[in-house]
Amino acid sequence: MNKIIKESLFKSAKYSLAFLWFFTGLTSLYLSPETGYQILEGANITGELADNAIYYGAILDITLGIWLLTAFKTKLCCIIQIGVITLYTLLLTYIDPSYWLHPFGPITKNIPIVILIAYLYSTHESMSYLNKRRHKKHRKQDTIADTKSNAENLDVTDTETTTHTNTETKK
């Protein structure tokens, strides 16, 4: 596969997953917290425990989205994402197994999401390698350009010195 396509696919996967985590967290906190409360109520989780589950779950989701964008320890972030998705899937299955048969697939969508995370995990090092090579190549090109620029400046200075010297000699 072409390097540009690989890099584009990697970035698309990373940004789409970051968006998913970030948007899910914001939705749980601000846009539709009542949905979370209804699900938790199905397991008799109410009151302060439900409040904490909604709040800290949303903060975790937002944190994962931001972490993914930082590229800091991406492999660890991928492992934690898979762990969180597994935990959410098990909890939702326990609370209401019918979500597996839901027409919008709130649980079944986790399968391709985990595959996308596994893709990020497996390609992270090769993308880091490509980026390092590209930066090294750009640094080398910058060095060559600086050297040429310095050489041209020396030529101009030498020409000015020679002209100045010749003018003084004629006087």
Write the single-letter amino acid at 140. Answer: K
Structural domain of residue 26, as residue ranges? 3-124
In a domain, 67, yes or no: yes
Distance CA 73, CA 66 (A): 12
In a domain, 103, yes or no: yes
Distance CA 3, CA 83 (A): 30
Into how many domains does the chain fold? Answer: 1
Largest CA distance in the chain: 104
Distance CA 100, CA 107 (A): 6
Residue 72 makes CB contacts below 8 A (sequence gap 6+) with none
In a domain, 79, yes or no: yes
Question: Would the pLDDT of 66 be above 60?
Answer: yes
In a domain, 162, yes or no: no
In a domain, 135, yes or no: no
In a domain, 141, yes or no: no
**Segment 124-157, tens digit of pLDDT:** 887 765 556 555 665 656 666 566 666 566 565 5
- In the block, residue with structure tokens 């640094």: 139
Q: What is the pLDDT of residue 92?
A: 95
In a domain, 47, yes or no: yes
**Segment 39-48, tens digit of pLDDT:** 999 999 999 9
Which has more confidence, 165 or 25?
25
Distance CA 150, CA 144 (A): 10
Q: For the chain, how big is the Rg over CA atoms in Å?
A: 28
In a domain, 142, yes or no: no
